[in-house]
Amino acid sequence: MDRSRLKHARTPETNGAAPLPALAHTLMADADSAVLLLDPHGRIASINAAGERLLALGRGRARGREAAALLRTVVAGDDVVRDAFRAPRLEREAVLHSAAGELPVRLHSYRIGRPPWVLLTLRDLTQMRRMQQELRRHERLATLGQLSAGVAHEIRNPLGGIKMATRLLAAGGYDGDRIPVEMAQSIVAGIVEIERIIADLLEYARDTRLDLGEYPLDRVLAPVIDAVQAPDERRVRIEAHGLDAGIMAMVDGPRLRQVFTNVLKNAVEASESVMNPRVDVRLGLRNDAAVVEIVDNGPGMTAEQRSKVFRPFFTTKSTGTGLGMPIVKKIMDLHGGEIEIDSTPGRGTAVRLIIPRLASPAPAAAGTGGGS
C-alpha cells in the first residue's frame, strides 16, 4: 500500500462519504475477522477480504448491497442488521445463512456518528464449534467407557464362579451326593449377585420422573431401619431419634426409601468393623427442609475416598457394586435436595440428607411417575 495514502482522511472506495480513515482500511485488510462498514441505509459501504471469504462472496461483489440480505440468520424474524442500528454496541452469536451454508459466527457491532453508520465484525466459530462437539463426544465416550468397564468388572467375578462350578459339574469331578448341591447353590448365588448388579444399574439409569405424594417422613424411614436392622441381629445398634415429630414432605416415597436404605446400609457396613458399632438416625427440620442425618462410628473416609463416593462403581468393599451413593445422589437431585457428608478417618461419618418439604414438582415430575 502507498504510505502517503495513510495521511488522507477519506478513502476513494466510499466516495469520501464514509467516516473511515485510510489507516482503518489498512487495519481492515489485515484483520482475520470479517469487517463490514454499513452506511446509514444499511448498505455495505466497505468489506474486507476476510469478510468476502467468510460470506463466500466474490471480490468486490458485496459493496452497495443490502447488509440485511447478506446477513440473514437461521432464526425467523431475527435481524442482526436492524439490531446493530438500534444499539450503540452489540455483541452476540448467530448462525448465518451464507452462500456456503450455515455459518456460526460471533458478531460485534459499533454504531458510529449521526446519521448512524455501523461497523460490524464477524468471527467464524465453525472451528470452535467443531472442537466443542468433539470434546463433548469424547466426554460421553469416556463416561460410557468407565461405565462399561465397571459393569464388565463387576459381572466377571460371579460369572467366573458360575463357570467353574458348571465345568466341575459337567466333568463329574466330585464324589458323594452333597457336593453337586453345593455347586448348584454357588451357581445360584452367582446369578443372584449378577441380578443385584443389574437391578442397581437399572435403578441408576432409570427414568427421571418422580411420583410425588405427601408423605410422613417417619413412615418412610421406620421400615427402612427395621429392614436394615433385621438381618443384622449381629452387633450394630441403630438408634432412631425424632421419628415422632410428624414431619411431612412432598416426595417420591419408594424412591426416598431407597435413598435411606443405601445410606443406612453403608453406615452399618462401615461400623461393623469397629469395637462398639453404633449408628444414629435423626429426623429433624432445618429452615423449611427436612433433614435426615445418619451418623456412624466406623472408620470414616479419607479425603480421596470422600471425593469419589458419588462415582459409579467406586467401592472399597469386596461385595459392593459402588452404585449405592450414585443412586442416592440421583434421587436427591430429582427432589431438589442436598447431601452433606462429614467424615473423619478413625472417627466416623455423618451423612445429612436435606429434603425440601414442598418440592415444587419440576415439569418432568408431573403426571405419571415411575414409583413402584
Ligand X SMILES: Nc1ncnc2c1ncn2[C@@H]1O[C@H](COP(=O)(O)OP(=O)(O)O)[C@@H](O)[C@H]1O
CB of 195 to Mg ion, least distance (A): 17
Q: Does 236 bind ligand X (CB under 6 A)?
A: no
Q: Does 321 bind ligand X (CB under 6 A)?
A: yes
Question: What is the C-alpha separation between 330 and 339, in angstroms, rounded?
Answer: 11
Instruction: Give the torsion through C-alpha atoms of 131, 137, 139, 144, to 10 deg.
Output: -170
Q: List binders of Mg ion among 218-277 (CB under 5 A).
A: 266
CB of 314 to ligand X, least distance (A): 5
Binding partner of 201, given ligand X, Mg ion, none, CB within 5-8 angstroms per partner class: none
Q: Does 293 bind ligand X (CB under 6 A)?
A: no
CB of 238 to ligand X, least distance (A): 13
Q: Does 266 bind ligand X (CB under 6 A)?
A: yes
Q: Does 235 bind ligand X (CB under 6 A)?
A: no
Q: Does 297 bind Mg ion (CB under 5 A)?
A: no
- Terminal CA-to-CA distance of the chain, rounded, Å? 78
Q: Does 296 bind ligand X (CB under 6 A)?
A: yes
Out of 96, 267, 281, 355, name the contact with ligand X by CB under 6 A. Answer: 267
CB of 282 to ligand X, least distance (A): 15
Question: What is the C-alpha separation between 55 and 73, in angstroms, rounded?
Answer: 12
| Nearer of residues 253 and 300 to ligand X, judged by Cβ | 300
Binding partner of 33, given ligand X, Mg ion, none, CB within 5-8 angstroms per partner class: none
Q: Does 302 bind ligand X (CB under 6 A)?
A: no
Q: Does 158 bind ligand X (CB under 6 A)?
A: no
| Nearer of residues 21 and 320 to ligand X, judged by Cβ | 320
Out of 34, 120, 349, 359, name the contact with ligand X by CB under 6 A. Answer: 349
Out of 282, 314, 329, 357, name the contact with ligand X by CB under 6 A. Answer: 314
- The residue type of 1 is M
Binding partner of 305, given Mg ion, ligand X, none, CB within 5-8 angstroms per partner class: ligand X
- Binding mask 95-134 toward ligand X (x if CB under 6 A, else -) reads ----------------------------------------
Out of 42, 324, 337, 369, name the contact with Mg ion by CB under 5 A. Answer: 324
Out of 74, 316, 345, 366, name the contact with ligand X by CB under 6 A. Answer: 316
* C-alpha cell recorded at residue 300: 470414616
Q: List binders of ligand X among 13-72 (CB under 6 A).
A: none
**Three-state helix/strand/coil letters over the chain:** CCHHHHHCCCCHHHCCCCCCCHHHHHHHHHCCCEEEEECCCCEEEEECHHHHHHCCCCCCCCCCCEHHHHCCECCCCCCHHHHHHHCCEEEEEEEEEECCEEEEEEEEEEEECCCCEEEEEEEECHHHHHHHHHHHHHHHHHHHHHHHHHHHHHHHHHHHHHHHHHHHHHHCCCCCCHHHHHHHHHHHHHHHHHHHHHHHHHHHHCCCCCCCEEEEHHHHHHHHHHHHHHHHCCCCEEEEECCCCCCEEEECHHHHHHHHHHHHHHHHHHHCCCCCCEEEEEEEEECCEEEEEEEECCCCCCHHHHHHCCCCCCCCCCCCCCCHHHHHHHHHHHCCCEEEEEEECCCEEEEEEEEECCCCCCHHHCCCCCCC
| Nearer of residues 119 and 263 to ligand X, judged by Cβ | 263
- The residue type of 297 is N
Q: Does 301 bind ligand X (CB under 6 A)?
A: yes
Residues that bind Mg ion (CB under 5 A): 266, 324
Residues that bind ligand X (CB under 6 A): 262, 266-267, 270, 296, 298, 300-301, 305, 309, 314-317, 320-325, 349
